[in-house]
A and B are shown apart, each in its own frame.
Chain A
Amino acid sequence: MIPKIGVVTDIRIDTPDIKTFRVVGLDGKKVFDHMPGQCAMLSIPGVGEAMFSITSSPTNTEYMEFSIKKCGCLTTWLHAMDVGQQITIRGPYGKHFPVEDEFKGKDILVIAGGVGLAPVRSVVNYIRAKRQDYGKLKIIYGSRSKDDLLDYKEILEEWMQDEGVEVHLTIDRPQEGWDGHVGFVPNYVKEVNPSLNYTVIMCGPPIMIKFSLANLKEMGFAETQVYTTMELRMKCGVGKCGRCNIGSKYVCKDGPVFRFDQLDALPNEY
């Protein structure tokens, strides 16, 4: 429960409502190591504490990054702060994506919507850094508009330039200066029509998840090959404060990464 100090060394404005914060410890090094999909509790004392996914990859040995959407008390405060601000940080929390076992050697398909790219960027960059350990990497990412695409620069300049990495971007409505795909993510998944060999990681708004999963199943994907990462209100981060449970599982401790067949066995209360 006793956090460490983190120093915000860089703030990147990603979209009109998402900023990415770079954090190191007082000694200028990473505060702790993590695995892709794990989270950290960030706080401004007196304002609040909340769980955020660590968007940077563990292979980044210099710092951690958090992509945070402005939507409540704490996030509004974080969006208003300047470089040099100290925050408190504790973690890492939760089960990570099975990058060392189930994902090894597999073709990976990442489906993300909006700020849902934040938790999966960590796994994308982890796989990009360890290309030889995995098969093909396909990414389908959509947002409301071109301006709402998170990490757009990194996607264009790094992800799209990698061999064996295929990125499909889409935005909800036509927009001037956008000659890419237009349409919702679930439909785009059908259009891209990935082969059934892919292991799927999905993160985004509930409505996107619901329809994308339905489409994947229609295409022949099994729930056992589709992973997601969940988010519920948390206080302790270690499965004791009692509020982030889905049935008998705590999202902070047993999740946030779940396979859809695991979620199916739990009450539909999230």
Chain B
Amino acid sequence: MRKLPIDQLSALFQTLDEKEALYIPADDPAAGQARFMRYREGLEMTHALNTVRSAKDFFFPQTENLVDFKLKGKEIEIIDPRTEHEDFVIFGVRACDARSFTILDKVFLADPVDTYYQSRREHGTIVTLACTQPEETCFCTAFGIDPAAPEGDARCWIEGDSLYMEALTEKGEKFLDSVKGLTSECGDEAVRAQQEKTRKIAEDLPFGKLNLEGFNGENMLKLFDSKEWASLSQACLGCGTCTFVCPTCQCYDIRDFKTNDGVVRFRCWDSCMYSDFTKMASGNPRLTQLERFRQRFMHKLVYFPANNEGEYGCVGCGRCLAKCPISMNIVKVAKALAEEVR
């Protein structure tokens, strides 16, 4: 383990930024909220627990060009717009968002590999930051995530007047090496003491012990046919905010945009909460908000684990709890459906 005096944090950022693009969670005065921003001199880390939007943009951006076309009469020319990505570092990712990357990997790196995602993933180094003050909306522990020991290429703890760092992967070692001059070797006593405190707080979180027993492929039909969906979805506005802020929501649309001299085919985030998500010329299998609402939660709590050795499509970051305009969320859904399977 290595440590750095906390007043040297800017120097650390400066050193990193000189080598490759660095992103840190900061307060964006224009947006009035915390978000990941490209580091520039003077930019400080936010004191907010987490960014309002998740960190999925780094690997799965909100919009991304897939292919360009030039059209001439009956002829079409196909242009591959992909360029090599540059290396980058994301500093200060929380444990929940770090886990979301491994969930996204299960979608985008499964055969056939999504090369757009893969390229970004290969070029990004994830440096996580342990939580010390989880909020009431946090329930990462329900998914076996330890907020005091986040995953990532390297992880950090801020304790007292020091930043403690530890590498977990080869990329993480490279990261630590690149700032070696600023840091010194140290013991892990301070970190362990902090972890103990954090874990105690996490233990008492109101939703931290959310019981998901029985949410699996075997109970798919039982859960799908539950009477609870009607009342749970009744007030849903179909606004899609939950899918927008969710770190694991990865459904996308592919659309064409006509430019002056051709067509750009891009993908962009989509939401299963929207009515046209499954609309076809011949009809729509999900006609009401009940069916669309059900799809979102069934996907995260049943379909995804059925396809991924029991891993849920949720990391308990609590963003949907904080942002849903009708205060509906995955915790309420899981609690309401629990009786169907126990």
Residues of A within 8 A of B116 (CB): 1
Closest to B69 in A: A45
- Whether the pair B303, A241 counts as a contact (CB closer than 8 A) is no
- Chain B nearest CB, measured from A92 CB (Å): 12
Residues of B within 8 A of A48 (CB): 256
Per the bound structure, the CA–CA distance linking A182 and B112 in Å amounts to 47
Closest to A242 in B: B251
- Whether the pair B256, A243 counts as a contact (CB closer than 8 A) is no
- Chain A nearest CB, measured from B220 CB (Å): 6
A3-B220 in contact given A71-B281, A72-B280, A238-B112 (Cβ < 8 Å): no
- Whether the pair B307, A248 counts as a contact (CB closer than 8 A) is yes
A245 at the binding interface (Cβ < 8 Å): yes
- Whether the pair B299, A235 counts as a contact (CB closer than 8 A) is no
Stretch at the interface among B33-41, B50-58, B74-82, B204-212: B74-82
Among B75, B286, B299, B302, contact of A242 (Cβ-Cβ < 8 Å): B299
A235-B254 in contact given A46-B71, A248-B303 (Cβ < 8 Å): yes
Q: Mark A231-270, 1 if CB is under 8 A from B, else 0.
A: 1110110111111110110000000000000000111011
B9 at the binding interface (Cβ < 8 Å): no
- Whether the pair B256, A247 counts as a contact (CB closer than 8 A) is no
Residues of A within 8 A of B67 (CB): 1-3
Per the bound structure, the CA–CA distance linking A58 and B226 in Å amounts to 44
A207 at the binding interface (Cβ < 8 Å): no
A245-B256 in contact given A72-B280, A232-B280, A239-B110 (Cβ < 8 Å): no
- Whether the pair A241, B280 counts as a contact (CB closer than 8 A) is no
Q: Which of A3, A71, A267 has the most CB of B within 10 A?
A: A267
| Interface of chain B residues 216 through 265 with chain A (CB within 8 A) | 217, 220-221, 224-225, 250-254, 256, 258, 262-263, 265
Stretch at the interface among A29-37, A83-91, A160-168, A211-219: A83-91
Closest to A235 in B: B254
Per the bound structure, the CA–CA distance linking A59 and B114 in Å amounts to 31
- Whether the pair A2, B69 counts as a contact (CB closer than 8 A) is no
Provide the main secondary structure of the chain A interface.
Answer: loop
Among A2, A5, A72, A266, contact of B76 (Cβ-Cβ < 8 Å): A5
- Whether the pair B114, A248 counts as a contact (CB closer than 8 A) is no
- Chain B nearest CB, measured from A184 CB (Å): 19
Per the bound structure, the CA–CA distance linking A191 and B270 in Å amounts to 48
Among B74, B80, B217, B277, contact of A248 (Cβ-Cβ < 8 Å): B217
- Whether the pair B110, A88 counts as a contact (CB closer than 8 A) is no
- Whether the pair B285, A45 counts as a contact (CB closer than 8 A) is no
A240-B108 in contact given A86-B75, A270-B285 (Cβ < 8 Å): yes
B129 at the binding interface (Cβ < 8 Å): no
In which size bucket is the chain B interface? 35 or more
- Whether the pair A85, B252 counts as a contact (CB closer than 8 A) is no
B332 at the binding interface (Cβ < 8 Å): no
Q: Mark B155-171, 1 if CB is under 8 A from A, else 0.
A: 00000000000000000
Residues of A within 8 A of B224 (CB): 247, 267, 269
| Interface of chain B residues 24 through 77 with chain A (CB within 8 A) | 66-67, 69, 71, 74-76
**A contacts with B, residue count (CB < 8 A):** 40
- Chain A nearest CB, measured from B304 CB (Å): 8
A248-B220 in contact given A1-B66, A46-B263 (Cβ < 8 Å): yes
Closest to A83 in B: B74
Residues of B within 8 A of A248 (CB): 217, 220, 302-304, 306-307
Q: Which of B110, B278, B306 has the most CB of A within 10 A?
A: B278
- Whether the pair B282, A71 counts as a contact (CB closer than 8 A) is yes
- Whether the pair B114, A240 counts as a contact (CB closer than 8 A) is yes
| Interface of chain A residues 1 through 52 with chain B (CB within 8 A) | 1-5, 45-49
- Whether the pair B251, A241 counts as a contact (CB closer than 8 A) is yes
Residues of A within 8 A of B221 (CB): 265-267
A170 at the binding interface (Cβ < 8 Å): no
- Whether the pair B66, A243 counts as a contact (CB closer than 8 A) is no
- Whether the pair A243, B251 counts as a contact (CB closer than 8 A) is yes
Residues of B within 8 A of A239 (CB): 110
Residues of B within 8 A of A85 (CB): 74
A233-B278 in contact given A48-B256, A243-B270 (Cβ < 8 Å): yes
Per the bound structure, the CA–CA distance linking A245 and B286 in Å amounts to 11
| Interface of chain B residues 270 through 308 with chain A (CB within 8 A) | 270, 272, 277-282, 285-286, 291, 295, 298-299, 302-304, 306-307
Per the bound structure, the CA–CA distance linking A238 and B254 in Å amounts to 13
Q: Which 8 A-B pairs have the closest CB atoms?
A: A72-B281, A242-B251, A45-B69, A248-B303, A45-B263, A248-B306, A267-B224, A71-B281
A-B contact pairs, 10 of them (CB 8 A): A5-B78, A72-B280, A82-B74, A87-B76, A231-B282, A233-B279, A240-B107, A241-B252, A242-B251, A267-B224
Q: A2-B67, A244-B278 are in contact. List 15 more A-B contacts (CB 8 A).
A: A3-B67, A4-B78, A45-B76, A46-B263, A71-B281, A72-B280, A86-B76, A232-B278, A240-B107, A240-B108, A241-B252, A242-B252, A242-B299, A247-B224, A269-B224
Residues of A with Cβ closer than 8 Å to B? Answer: 1-5, 45-49, 71-73, 75, 82, 84-88, 231-233, 235-236, 238-245, 247-248, 265-267, 269-270
